[in-house]
Amino acid sequence: MTKSQIAQVLEEIATLLELKDENVFKIRAYSNAARSLETFVGNVADLQDEEALAKIPGIGKAIAAKVKELAATGKLKYVEELRAEFPAAILELFSISGLGAKKIKALYEKLHISSIEQLRQACESGKVAELPGFGETTQTKICEAIARRAKHSGHFQFGQIAADTESLRRDLASHPATLQVDVAGSYRRRREIVRDVDLVVATKKPAAITEFFVKHPLTESIIAQGPTKTSVRLRSGIQCDLRVVTSAEYPFALNYFTGSKEHNIEMRNRALQRGWTLNEYRIAKLPLDPKAKRKRPAARIPKVNEEADLYRALGLDFIPPELRENGGEFEAAENHSLPTDTTRSRKWRAQRRSLASNIWESPSIARARSRRMESMP
Q: Please report, rounded to a whole number, the percentage of residues in the chain having pLDDT higher than 70.
A: 86
| Predicted confidence (pLDDT) at residue 95 exceeds the cutoff of 80 | no
| Predicted confidence (pLDDT) at residue 258 exceeds the cutoff of 90 | yes
Q: Give the separation between CA 45 and CA 23, rounded to whole angstroms.
A: 31
pLDDT, mean of residues 316-324:
95
For 180-216, b where at least 16 C-beta lie within 10 A, e where not — what string? bbbbbbbbbbbbeebebbbbbbbbeebeebbebbeeb
- pLDDT tens per residue, range 180-205: 999 999 999 999 889 899 999 999 99
Domain count of the fold of the chain: 4
Question: Are 108 and 50 contained in the same domain?
Answer: no
Question: Are 111 and 79 contained in the same domain?
Answer: no
- pLDDT tens per residue, range 33-75: 888 887 676 777 778 887 788 878 888 889 999 999 998 898 8
Which of 268, 366, 251 is CA-nearest to residue 304? Answer: 251
CATH number at residue 68: 1.10.150.110
Q: Is residue 355 part of a domain?
A: no
Q: Is residue 351 part of a domain?
A: no
Question: Are 195 and 147 contained in the same domain?
Answer: no
Give strand ranges (E) for 64-218: 156-157, 178-184, 193-194, 196-203
Q: Is residue 346 part of a domain?
A: no
| Predicted confidence (pLDDT) at residue 8 exceeds the cutoff of 50 | yes
If one counts every other C-beta atom within 10 angstroms of the C-beta of residue 354, the result is: 10
In the DSSP assignment, the letter for residue 296 is: P
CATH number at residue 110: 1.10.150.20
6-15, 204-213, 334-343: least confident range: 334-343
The domain in which residue 110 lies consists of 88-151
In the DSSP assignment, the letter for residue 94 is: G
**Amino acid at site 355:** L
Q: Is residue 366 part of a domain?
A: no
Question: Are 124 and 164 contained in the same domain?
Answer: no
Question: Are 243 and 296 contained in the same domain?
Answer: no
pLDDT at 3: 79
Q: Give the separation between CA 28 and CA 30, rounded to whole angstroms.
A: 5
137-146, 152-161, 260-269, 292-301: least confident range: 292-301
Question: Are 63 and 24 contained in the same domain?
Answer: yes
Angle CA(58)–CA(60)–CA(62) in degrees, nearest 5? 135
Question: Are 174 and 190 contained in the same domain?
Answer: yes
Say if residues 161 and 190 touch (Cβ distance below 8 Å).
no
pLDDT, mean of residues 258-268:
92
pLDDT, mean of residues 121-142:
92
Of 118, 151, 184, which residue sits at a domain end?
151
Question: Are 233 and 278 contained in the same domain?
Answer: no
pLDDT at 77: 93
pLDDT at 296: 64
Question: Are 147 and 160 contained in the same domain?
Answer: no
What sign results for the dihedral spanned by CA atoms 165, 166, 168, 172? positive
Q: Is residue 24 part of a domain?
A: yes
Which of 147, 171, 249 is CA-nearest to residue 203? Answer: 249
